[in-house]
Amino acid sequence: MAKKLEIYTDGSSLGNPGPGGWGVVVVITNDELGIKKVKQEIIELGGGEKNTTNNRMELMGAIEALKFCVRQGLAQVVIHTDSAYVLNGITLWIHNWEKNGWKTANKKSVLNQDLWEKLSALSKELRNKVSWKKVKGHSGHFFNDRADEIATEYAAKVK
């Protein structure tokens, strides 16, 4: 039985900065003999902080998703995010940031460097067997919308 792992992440803040939350929906699908969706398991994760930004919560969702993968010993995963900041940062920008001492192309310090360093380390720990995909936010995609609900619920709880 082959397992397919898809993870949806999101972040939210009520004010920027303000109380924030992150949400993760892990979808594990077991495919048996090419028959799709024989069994599907859903795991939800979430958390929040009292004074944060939306971008930090988007990053925390991705970090916590990769931590889950490391704890479970999972190496092949697709992470879906509606955050262009997270997607571009981890797939395009981070290599130059690291090479340039965490400076942007404009020679400014990278915002949220602490979280980018964690995300980079986790990605490397998983031997870069993580692929990243953009999902349109608030578009009616069930799992992405659920990740958003979790993030928003946690933001409201820590308010």
The yes-or-no answer on residue 11 being catalytic is yes
pLDDT at 1: 47
The angle subtended at Cα 9 by Cα 159 and Cα 33, nearest 5°, is 145
145 catalytically annotated: no
Identify the CA nearest to 104 among candidates 88, 87, 83: 88
What span, in angstroms and rounded, lies between the C-alpha atoms of 136 and 83?
9
- pTM above threshold 0.85: yes
In the chain, where the domains are located: 2-83+115-158
In the chain, what is the straight-line distance between the N-terminal and C-terminal CA atoms, in Å?
44
Known catalytic residue at 148:
yes
DSSP state of 7: E
Find residue 4's DSSP bridge partners: 29
Region 3-12: mean pLDDT is: 90
Q: Which residue has the tokens 């919560």?
A: 57
Known active-site residue 138 = yes
Superfamily grouping for domain 2-83+115-158: Ribonuclease H-like superfamily/Ribonuclease H (3.30.420.10)
Axis crossing angle, helix 142-158 with helix 54-72, rounded to the nearest 10: 110
pLDDT in tens, 49-78: 999 999 999 999 999 999 999 998 876 899
**Shortest CA distance to 25 belongs to which of 4, 46, 40?**
46
- Beta strand pairing call for 18-32 and 2-13: antiparallel
Q: Is 31 designated active site?
A: no
Set 58, 61, 80, 89: catalytic member: 58
The order of strands in the sheet holding 2-13 is 35-52, 18-32, 2-13, 77-81, 130-134
Residue 115 has pLDDT above 70, yes or no: yes
